[in-house]
Amino acid sequence: MIIDSHQHFWKYEPIKHVWIDDEMAVIRDDFLPADLQKVYTENGVDGCVAVQADQTLAETDFLLDLSSEHDFIKGVVGWADLRNERIDHVLERYHLEKKLKGWRHVVQGEPDHNFLLRPDFLRGISFLEKYEYTYDILIFPHQLGATLEFVKHFPHQKFVIDHIAKPYIKDGFFYGWATLMREVAKHENVHCKMSGMITEADYNNWTTEQLHPYMNLVLEAFGAERLMYGSDWPVCLVAGNYSAVKNIVSDFIQALSTSEQKAIMGENAVAFYNL
């Protein structure tokens, strides 16, 4: 079974999706389940986890509506303002939605490098375990120090780092990111998605060989049991196509045992998100 642990849907709106700049113009379009289902049929993918892109409760509801209409959407990672004083009530209300598996905040876009460590955000995260929710950590490498402190606060909360923490592959920066990723990985409740790599490299000139040091590092640090494949579709289309993204991971893990390959390509996502 192949499960894509990370993809997005949206109806394109220039103001809402202002982060899609001119270099990413190819994804200034609608991307909906009918589009992805065709891609999955072509690539032998059985299901996915739909992850928020917009920071509104309306986005969470939008993804949940899509998941109710399309069985291949196995789970949803939504957004809620975890800093809200009434966040416990919000989480309780959404707990009735069985396909809602976890939450995410676009921390990479926060100007405060220590956003994860602010008391109101920590308070919000503290309620997730109560409802058996996961949390996706979306950061840039300069936020890894705060992330290390952050995960220490919650030793029993299920975390996953999106896009291997978006290392600056295009610039060839490695060692600072690698040092902190190793430290974060020492916390066994933290997992990592092998996703989003080609869009951190040069969109037009990346090579698989450039990605290998980063993939080797996360495999060494997290082990096959805490890694999961994700495409980051449709964002990945700015630098390639779905097949290329899937093959980057599936080819890289060929030397692993069959059981380890199955874990990374789907079983770990099923277990982590309780799909």
Which range (21-25, 42-46, 82-86) has the least confidence? 21-25
The rounded distance, in Å, linking the Cα atoms of 28 and 11 is: 9
Q: Over pLDDT 90: what percentage of the chain? A: 99
Does the pLDDT value for residue 77 go beyond 90? yes
Residue 144 scores a pLDDT above 90: yes
Residue 188 sits in which domain range? 3-273
pLDDT of 244 over the 90 cut = yes
Q: Express as a percent the part of the chain with pLDDT over 70.
A: 100
- Summarize pLDDT for 156-192 with one digit per residue, the tens: 999 999 999 999 999 999 999 999 999 999 999 999 9
Q: In sequence order, which ranges of 70-117 are alpha helices (DSSP H)?
A: 87-94
- Cα-trace Rg, the chain: 17
Return d(Cα 136, Cα 92) in angstroms, integer.
Answer: 19
pLDDT at site 12: 94
Q: Are 160 and 193 in contact (CB under 8 A)?
A: yes
Query: What is the spatial distance between Cα 232 and Cα 5, in angstroms, rounded to a whole number?
Result: 8
Q: Does an H or E element contain 51, and which?
A: strand 47-51
Render pLDDT for 194-223 as a digit per residue (tens, 0 to 9): 999 999 999 999 999 999 999 999 999 999
List pLDDT tens digits, range 96-132: 999 999 999 999 999 999 999 999 999 999 999 999 9
Q: Does residue 260 carry a pLDDT above 90?
A: yes
> How many domains does the chain fold into?
1
* pTM of the complete model beyond 0.95: yes
Q: How far apart are CA 89 and CA 80, in angstroms?
A: 11
Q: Is the pLDDT of residue 4 over 90?
A: yes
Share the mean pLDDT of the chain: 97
Report pLDDT for 80. 98
- Give DSSP secondary structure letters for 72-83: TEEEEEE---TT
- Per-residue confidence band for 15, with pLDDT thresholds at 50, 70 and 90: confident
Helix then strand then coil, in percent of the chain rounded to 5, is: 50, 15, 35
pLDDT for position 96: 92
CATH of the domain at 219: 3.20.20.140
